[in-house]
Amino acid sequence: MADTAEASAAAPGTGPPLLEVAGVAVGYNGPDGYTAAVADASFTVRAGETVMLIGPSGCGKSTLLRVVAGFLRPAAGRVVFDGRTGLAPGPDRAVVFQESDQLLPWRTALGNVAYALRATGTPRARARALARDHLVGVGLAHALDRHPHQLSGGMKQRVAIARALALAPRMLLMDEPFGALDAQTRGRLQHDLAALVRRTGTTVLFVTHSIDEAVLLGDRVVVLGDRPSRVREVVDVAGVDRPDAPEFTAARRRLRALLAEEEETAHAPAH
């Protein structure tokens, strides 16, 4: 996957916008009619950039990701990816879902990754070799032939990450991919993801609950408010990638303040 054209791109985030989300409102049709999840979201993701989505639980982060992935149509506003609107799901935007049942239970870990590659046109032998490499890359060399029900939650999540990375997508959509992992594994995978993004110039839209993860991995952080949510602010955290840098502490304080403010307005008595 190191042979992506964007590999030679200049500093991340200076390219043209790859994804544009403009005035998007989206919700779900239920038995009681339409319920809004996101009221008004606008942000852009430039090619090679890593943009983080953060906000309180239930504010519509996964919903926004589903819109970009092409599973949901926005009720208002528009989403432009690579010049196209009216998106259908496709492997150019590989998704790591939040749900733990995202692996095909009838295929092994290796089979899951290899199948994704074959389904998108890679010849069988090459698909298996690539799949193996990517699983070794997430530390699963010992579990290639296990079925998903024989893997722990974190291991399943790592298979899903390997599957998405193996597809070498234009854009990676990740929904709290490291949420179920222990601190060490999470740290290692964060580091590996950052390195991979730097090497291949892959564009990433990443949902997280963790302020630290947002600051460390992101170039910019989109802070969402309570449901039905709006974008409260987009915080620039490019270049802050070491926890001991003074900018790190500042960015973290800024994000914490934004999210705490959100908490306060949400729990203030209504008048």
Partner 1 sequence: MPPPTDAPAGPPAAPAPPAGRRPAPALPRSARRRAGWGRLPTAVRRGVLLAALIAAWQGYVSAAGVSPLVFAGPADVAAALVAGWAGGDLVAPTLTTLRLLGLGMLIGSVLALALTALAVGTRLGDDLLSLLTAMINPLPSVAVLPLAMLWFGLNETALVFVVANAVLWPMAVSLGTGFRTVPATTVAVGRSLGLRGWRLVRDIRLPAALPHTIAGVRTGWAFGWRTIIAAELVFGVAGARGGLGFYINDARYYLDIPNVFAGLVTIALIGIALDLLFTAVERRTVVRWGMREGAAT
Closer Cβ to Mg ion, 60 or 169, answer by number? 60
Closer Cβ to ligand ATP, 30 or 123, answer by number? 30
- Of the candidates 40, 54, 49, 39, the one whose C-alpha atom is nearest the C-alpha of residue 19 is 49
- Of the candidates 126, 71, 121, 76, the one whose C-alpha atom is nearest the C-alpha of residue 99 is 71
Does 30 engage in binding with partner 1 (CB under 8 A)?
A: no
Closer Cβ to partner 1, 112 or 208, answer by number? 112
Stretch that binds partner 1, among 73-81, 84-92, 133-141, 245-253 (CB under 8 A): 84-92
Q: How many other C-beta atoms are found inside a 10 Å radius of the C-beta of residue 233? A: 13
Does 122 engage in binding with Mg ion (CB under 5 A)?
A: no
Strands (E), 10-154: 17-30, 33-46, 50-54, 76-81, 93-96
Diameter over CA atoms, the chain: 65
In a 10 Å sphere around its CB, with 0-12 CB exposed, 13-18 middle and 19+ buried, how is residue 246 labelled?
Answer: exposed
Backbone dihedral angles phi then psi of residue 183, each to the nearest 5 degrees: -60, -40
In the complex, least distance from residue 162 CB atom to partner 1, rounded to whole angstroms: 14
DSSP 154-214: HHHHHHHHHHHHHT--SEEEEESTTTTS-HHHHHHHHHHHHHHHHHH--EEEEE-S-HHHH
Does 62 engage in binding with Mg ion (CB under 5 A)?
A: yes
Out of ligand ATP, Mg ion, partner 1, none, which partner does residue 57 contact, by CB within 5 to 8 A per kind?
ligand ATP
Q: How many other C-beta atoms are found inside a 10 Å radius of the C-beta of residue 229? A: 24
Distance CA 121, CA 98 (A): 26
Out of partner 1, Mg ion, ligand ATP, none, which partner does residue 60 contact, by CB within 5 to 8 A per kind?
ligand ATP
Does 57 engage in binding with ligand ATP (CB under 6 A)?
A: yes
Out of ligand ATP, Mg ion, partner 1, none, which partner does residue 97 contact, by CB within 5 to 8 A per kind?
partner 1
Per-residue DSSP letter, 47: T
In the complex, least distance from residue 197 CB atom to partner 1, rounded to whole angstroms: 20
Stretch that binds ligand ATP, among 55-63, 88-96, 155-163, 184-192 (CB under 6 A): 55-63
Tokens of 265: 């307005």
CA distances from 24 to 76, 122, 149 (A): 5, 35, 38
**Subset of residues 33 to 72 that bind partner 1, contact rule: CB under 8 A:** 69-71
Does 184 engage in binding with ligand ATP (CB under 6 A)?
A: no
In the complex, least distance from residue 224 CB atom to ligand ATP, rounded to whole angstroms: 7
* Binding residue count for Mg ion, defined by CB under 5 A: 2
* Binding residue count for partner 1, defined by CB under 8 A: 25
* From 58, 89, 90, 153, residue interacting with ligand ATP (rule: CB under 6 A): 58
The residue type found at 259 is L
Does 60 engage in binding with ligand ATP (CB under 6 A)?
A: yes
Residue numbers at the binding site for partner 1 (CB under 8 A):
69-71, 89-91, 93-95, 97, 99, 101-106, 115-116, 119-120, 147-150
Residue numbers at the binding site for ligand ATP (CB under 6 A):
28, 30, 37, 57-63, 98, 227
